[in-house]
Amino acid sequence: MSQIFILLEGDELSSAGAELAIFGSRAGSVTAVICSNNPEALVASAATLPVERVIVLTGIDFAKSSLRSVSSVLAELVKRDSPAALLVASSARGKEIAARVAVRTESGIVTDAIDVNAALEATQSIFGGSYTVSSRVTHGTSIVTMRSHCVEVTTTTSSPAVEYFDGAGYVDTQVTITSSEPAQKSARPSLAEASIVVSGGRGTDGKFELIEEFADLIGAAVGASRPVIDSGWYPHAYQVGQTGKTVSPQCYIACGISGAIQHKAGMQTAKTIIAINKDPEAPFFEIADFGIVGDLFTVLQSAIAALK
């Protein structure tokens, strides 16, 4: 049975990480490579997923060393074990780690896959969702970065073998990290992890209070379109679209966003799309499963009242 490597980072299991195990188990026996200063939680979580082995990296302070430390040691493990595939979450960091491993191990790479099958054929949704492409790596280990929210995670009980690997010799000395502020953990879910995203556009006139209140009531993340960011109405980290973040939630609720192709490029793989706009001709209505022509503030206010 082929070996499939997945990369798990951080202090706790993310939904993206759990999905890697599900995807990996379709194609073979999953080994989770764990990079964390507190690996216990991830090791315990791996036993709730279809994982047959974990490799815990030691000797690296992951908070203080650059991603090159992780890519170097991961490349070493890929060379040692020659897995059929390495699956990594499609974050900026995940893609960069995967890219470096691909160069080092002379392996092909596919990024931002939304699905991968038992034959390691990866599916991508490209050009703002206008094409679905299936492709396969033809050289070396199949390195695939996976978008989150693409597969349902069902937990199981496994008893993975635990191996430790000393990564001290692979610590990057080229880059010095002087400070690190993890993204604010608010009660609100992050754009990458949320299953519902409520986004505001030009139509909000910069007034996000109702969007935030509505998002909090339904456990959604808040996003924004580029004109909102450019006007300084909302922080850059929340921008969805071609030059911002790409999200793929269960449901995307666009409030006062016309639906330019650059914005749609960042959200078109959302399973359900809802648009609220006072302009009945707004392009967003063409792709919305449910559209409301009306004033977004009135609609949100009555939705909030209905929820309360």
Partner 1 sequence: MKIAVLIKQVPDSWAEKKMGSDGLLDRAGVDAVLNDNDEYAIETALQLVEARAAGDTVTAISMGPERTTDAIRKALSMGVDGAVHICDDALAGSDALATSKVLAAAISQGEFDLVLCGMEATDSRMGVIPAMVSERLDWPQLTFASEVVIQDSTIHITRSTESGVDRMNAQLPAVVSVVEKIFEPRYPSFKGIMAAKKKEIAMKSLSDLGLTPMDAWTKVLTSTPKPPKAAGVKIVDDGSGGEKLVAFLKERKLI
Interactions with partner 1, residue window 59-98 (CB under 8 A)? 66-68, 71, 91-93, 95-98
Task: Work out whether 242 is an interface residue with partner 1 (CB under 8 A).
Answer: yes
Query: 65-104: b or e for each residue (b if 16 or more CB lie within 10 Å)?
Result: bbbbbbbbbbbbbbeeeebbbbbbbbbeebbbbbbbbbee
According to DSSP, residue 189 is labeled P
Nearest-approach distance from CB 225 to partner 1, in angstroms? 14
Nearer to partner 1, 87 or 102 (CB): 102
Nearer to partner 1, 55 or 143 (CB): 143
Contacts of partner 1 in 4-63 (CB under 8 A) = none
Tokens of 221: 């993340």
Nearest-approach distance from CB 162 to partner 1, in angstroms? 26
Nearer to partner 1, 51 or 67 (CB): 67
Nearer to partner 1, 151 or 303 (CB): 303
Nearer to partner 1, 45 or 246 (CB): 246
Contacts of partner 1 in 114-153 (CB under 8 A) = 121, 125-127, 129-140
Q: Phi first, then psi: what are they for 43, rounded to 5°?
A: -60, -45
Q: Could you tell me which of 32, 33, 42 has the C-alpha nearest to residue 10?
A: 42
* Whether 26 contacts 121, CB under 8 Å: no
Contacts of partner 1 in 163-182 (CB under 8 A) = 174-182
Query: 7-38: b or e for each residue (b if 16 or more CB lie within 10 Å)?
Result: bbbbeebbbbbbbbbbbbbbbbbbbbbbbbee
Among 118, 164, 243, 279, binds partner 1 (CB under 8 A): 243
Among 31, 36, 69, 111, binds partner 1 (CB under 8 A): 111
Report d(CA 89, CA 111) in Å as an integer: 9
Task: Work out whether 279 is an interface residue with partner 1 (CB under 8 A).
Answer: no
